[in-house]
Chain A
Amino acid sequence: MSALPLPLAEFQSWMQSVLVHPDGAEVAIGASEARRFVAPESVSDVVRERDGLAVAERLQVYAGMYPLRMRDALRSDYPALAELLGEQGFEKLVADYVAVHPSRSFTLARLGDHLPEFLAGCGSPRRRGLRTDVARLEQAGAQVFDAQETAPMDAEALQAISAADWPNVRLRPAAAFRLMRVRPGAVDVLDAVLEGNPVPERAGRGRVEVAYYRKDFVVLRRTMGPFDGSLLSSLAAGETIGSALERAAKSFPRGFPSGEILSGWFAEWTRLGLFSGIERAR
């Protein structure tokens, strides 16, 4: 325990330990972390007593706002997850998560950076996958929102590539583009929240590719089909067009699309601004 008055550094360590304690200021004052600096019976030697509010109540004004601030920040980034978990479930998740991953950034926008991986390791295995996928989708949307603006790929440049060169070309993904492979139920959750409908809690079978992109600073989402999703996934991962088509063809041996359909997809992806440039493999 430190001698009073506390030096500034010790005062700040003490006060922070009280404010971020999950059980509130009254309990935190007596917790071992706080007692390293101030004995519970000496708290009024640190915080001035005044009429109106007791010392613990004054500390609680700050301590009470801390979890609310964390909850609001995470709810703002993960609104569908919050709906899926319900008020109590989301509050518990926030408390558990923030205890492991407190904010270490100047901005609360980074608070939820580890939430999808945190979800993947907690809760019942039956529900974990859907919840994690909902969080991954919402995180992708937030990343696309904040991504730097990059000039989209020039459609003419794409058309100018000779047939011989096509297999060796790579498409550079735009900064504001993410492709996520998730359980289809995760998309249903996001759709239900957007439309104000009750949130379904079915993971669904298989996986779908979901693209997030941005047009005129508005974040948009599109669920891809099995073939174009697979192809787009390979391209976004940096594979050449030739290699990506080969991989897709192996996955769908009986349903390879015509050249016309493929050209249409590439034209559409260019129009949506999913890619920012062309690179030729060496």
Chain B
Amino acid sequence: MANRWNLPVLGYGIGLRTVHFADILDRRPAIDFYEAITENFLDTGGRPIHVLDRVAERTPVVLHGVSLNIGSTAPLDFAYLAKVKQLARRVNAPWVTDHLCWTGVAGRNTHDLLPLPLNDETLEHVAARVRTVQDFLGRPLHLENPSSYLELTASTMGEAEFLARLTEKADCGLLLDVNNVFVSSFNHGWDAEAYIDAIPADRVVQVHLAGHTDKGTHLLDTHSDHVRDEVWTLYERLVRRTGLVTTLVEWDDDIPALGVVHAEALMARDAAARTLRMDAADGATAASAAEPANEAVAA
């Protein structure tokens, strides 16, 4: 199944991080695509934007923001959005993503991805803002499920249901962070498999994979390690529903050499291929098991 907009499957990418700049420019590794943190490339005329330009000349780049503040009751920041629009045009980003969250009110930015009450009030509020942003940017905006550490009593629905209704109402796509599904499910006692099964598969445009840290009482989304086995299992479950999907490995803390991060992305490629091959084989087995009965009927 492709996504409903037939947006391209970009393959298996990694985040564009400063520590890898020289390696990327010198070695030109065969990485399918890069994801740039939007805010790191706004308001700068120095090396970061120079590197991004060089990378975008030969490899697809998608933009991933952290300050859209889509769930906030503060007004949308159109000066910021104008810069995002300009950058997206500059690197020819096929889409722009940010998070289903709020980051601040009253002119303040906490620079955190804060949780929202998942109810009809929030749904109406966020959907209207997503439509406004998509119209302004003139290109698709897809929202990511954040990791969360608390739930709100004002929520009247689960996160998967909220995302399904939001993406329908705002006609936007999903950047499904499978690690965040796992982290939040652990922290709140959700059923991570049921979450994956409830996601509207045809709206998943991109996937994030990352490592997390076990703090004993809760899991913390640190992007500081390899993808855990449980997250790979969830990813395979998701791929069975979505088919091949643009997938990116995030690594933001204790960042290892470029080759290590790239290898993690290639593991995602292998996991997806293996899963889909197995499913195809299962389908063939099921079909051949059914054949004699069909022949008998035909006879």
**Interface on A for B, CB 8 Å cutoff?**
4-9, 11-13, 15-16, 19-20, 44-48, 50-53, 55, 57-59, 61-62, 65-66, 69, 73, 102-110, 145-149, 175-176, 214, 217-218
Nearest Cβ on chain B to A4's Cβ, whole angstroms: 8
A65 contacts across to B, CB distance below 8 A: 112
Indicate whether A16 sits within 8 Å of B121 (C-beta atoms), given known contacts A217-B47, A217-B50.
Answer: no
Given contacts A8-B73, A12-B73, A53-B218, contact A148 B111 (CB under 8 A): no
Of the stretches B144-152, B226-234, B269-277, B289-297, the one at the interface is: B144-152
Known: A5-B117, A16-B110, A20-B110. A52 touches B217 (CB 8 A): yes
Given A6-B154, A19-B110, check contact A217 B149 (CB 8 Å).
Answer: no
Q: How many residues on B have C-beta within 8 angstroms of the other chain's C-beta atoms? A: 43
Verify A5–B42 contact, CB threshold 8 A.
no
B67 and A50 within 8 A (CB): no
> What B residues does A176 contact at CB under 8 A?
45-46
Q: List 8 A-B contacts (CB under 8 A).
A: A9-B73, A12-B105, A48-B151, A48-B152, A62-B149, A107-B40, A146-B43, A149-B45
Is A146 touching B45 in the complex (CB atoms < 8 A)?
A: yes
Q: Are A8 and B125 in contact (CB under 8 A)?
A: yes
SS of B interface (majority): loop
Closest 6 CB pairs of A and B: A148-B45, A217-B47, A106-B67, A58-B150, A9-B73, A61-B149
> How many angstroms from the CA of A16 to the CA of B73 in the assembled complex?
12
Partner of A50 from the list B102, B111, B151 (CB cut-off 8 Å) is: B151
Contact between A104 and B110, CB atoms less than 8 A apart? no
Q: Which of B44, B80, B105 contacts A16 (CB 8 A)?
A: B105
Given A11-B117, A12-B72, A149-B50, 13 extra CB contacts under 8 A: A8-B73, A9-B105, A13-B105, A16-B106, A46-B153, A52-B187, A103-B104, A103-B111, A104-B109, A146-B46, A149-B45, A176-B46, A217-B47
Return A79 CB to nearest CB of chain B, in Å: 15
Determine the distance from Cα of A277 to Cα of B155 in the docked complex, in whole angstroms: 60
CA distance A214 to B44 in the complex (A): 14
Give the docked Cα–Cα distance between A142 and B146 (Å). 31
Q: Determine if B217 and A8 form an interchain contact, defined as CB atoms under 8 angstroms apart.
A: no
Asked if residues A102 and B80 are in contact (CB atoms below 8 Å), the reply is no
- B42 and A45 within 8 A (CB): no
- A100 to chain B minimum Cβ distance, whole angstroms, is 12
Interface residue? B4 (CB, 8 A): no
Roughly how many angstroms separate A102 CA and B189 CA in the complex, as a whole number? 35
- Assess A107 versus B39: contact at CB under 8 Å? Given A8-B125, A217-B50: yes
List the A side residues contacting B197 at CB < 8 Å: none
Contact check, A69 vs B154: say whether CB atoms are below 8 A apart.
no
List residues of chain A with CB within 8 A of the CB of B154: 5-6, 11, 46
Q: How far is the CA of A34 from the CA of B218 in the complex (A)?
A: 25
Is B224's beta carbon under 8 Å from chain A? Answer: no
Q: Which of A46, A103, A145 interacts with B46 by CB under 8 Å?
A: A145
Q: Are A59 and B112 touching (Cβ within 8 A)?
A: no
Return B83 CB to nearest CB of chain A, in Å: 8
Whether the pair B217, A53 counts as a contact (CB closer than 8 A) is: yes
Q: Are B46's CB and A147's CB within 8 A?
A: yes
Say whether A8 contacts B46, CB under 8 Å: no
What's the least CB distance linking B154 to chain A, in Å?
A: 4
Q: Judging by beta carbons under 8 Å apart, are A103 and B109 in contact?
A: yes
Q: What 0/1 readout, one digit per residue, does chain B (177-218) give for beta carbons within 8 Å of chain A?
A: 000000000011100000000000000000000000000011
A55, A108, A147, A175 — most chain B CB neighbours (10 Å): A108
CA A51 to CA B150, docked complex, whole Å: 11
A47 interface neighbour in B47, B122, B153, Cβ under 8 Å: B153
How far, in whole Å, are A4 and B152 apart by their CA atoms in the complex?
Answer: 12
Residue-wise, chain B 241-257 has the 8 Å CB interface mask toward A (1 for contact) of: 00000000000000000
The reply to whether B107 and A104 form a contact with Cβ atoms under 8 Å apart is yes
Please indicate the chain A residues that have their CB under 8 angstroms from the CB of B125 in the complex.
8
What is the bound-complex CA distance between A52 and B189, given in angstroms?
10
Q: Are A62 and B67 in contact (CB under 8 A)?
A: no
Interface centre among A65, A105, A218 (most CB of B within 10 A): A105
Give residues of chain B (88-138) contacting chain A, Cβ–Cβ below 8 Å.
102, 104-112, 114, 116-117, 121-122, 125
Residue in B closest to A62 when the chains form the complex, CB atoms: B112
Contacts of B217 in A (CB 8 A): 52-53, 57
Chain B residues closer than 8 Å to A11, beta-carbon distance? 117, 152, 154
Task: Tell me which residues across on chain A come within 8 A of B42, comparing CB atoms.
Answer: 106-107
User: Is B77 close to A, CB under 8 A?
Assistant: yes
A53–B111 alpha-carbon span in the complex (Å): 23
Q: Which residues of B contact A214 (CB under 8 A)?
A: 46
Q: Name which residue of chain B comes closest to A6, CB basis.
A: B154
Residue of A whose beta carbon sits closest to that of B37: A107
